[in-house]
Structure 1
């Protein structure tokens, strides 16, 4: 059964713990060309979009869920937003839990709204990452399922 509104509310298990390291924070900030000193020093924090590193692990669970029938090559990341309770800090050990919040089918595309909750392994909420993905249906001659 392909993804549908019946999948709204599906919640995936928390990802394996991810330790936010100084090296990864510096590497990420460098890729952004962001030289802000808050990413170094005594109590370094990660750039706000660093949460994507952890959220991506949660999205993988959804993309590889055989029941949903998603084909990653036909998925476009349409938008995203962050809601922060506190910054990610070097040394934090975090997990991410994904919930499918919305599924709408319009024509030959599915619009999938997701919520990823990033928390420390002690249960402290850090941030929420909301994203919308657009999954296009294959043309009839492409459908090999």
Structure 2
């Protein structure tokens, strides 16, 4: 059964705990060509590091057999991070994905998700909203 508007509201279990470390932040910043600046305060994650901690939650969505999604047919159309506070080395976080809206137009499915990231004491750290466009092959 392919994804339908009835899947809006579906939530998944939290991801395994992920520990944010100085090394992971430095590697991510270097990959962006913008090494971490150290010195005048605590090191915090670059804003787009949120994709690292939310990625496993998106993986659960893309591999859910009930939805019938094919990752090679998905386009990441939009994304927004809303931070309650910056991610810092030592944070241990989990991410919980919810499908907030599904629109179907012919063989195109537009899927809006929200991933809530919480720390080890269940305090909110960030919310990542994303929209994915999935192109389903036409029935033979």
C-alpha offsets along residues 34-64 of structure 1, whole Å, 9 cap, x if unaligned?
23515x7762111111010111100011111
Correspondence for 1:13: 13
Alignment gaps of 5+ in structure 2: none
Correspondence for 1:55: 54
1:71 & 1:122 partners in 2: Cα distance?
35
Secondary structure of 2:98's counterpart equals strand
Correspondence for 2:31: 31
2:123 & 2:15 partners in 1: Cα distance?
15
1:10 & 1:41 partners in 2: Cα distance?
43
8 Å CA contact retained: 2:36, 2:43: no
Secondary structure of 1:82's counterpart equals strand
Stretches of 4+ moved more than 4 A in 1? none
RMSD of Structure 2 on Structure 1 (CA)? 1.4
What is the TM-score when the length of structure 1 is the normalising length?
A: 0.91
Q: CA deviation at 1:7?
A: 0.4
1:131 & 1:73 partners in 2: Cα distance?
17
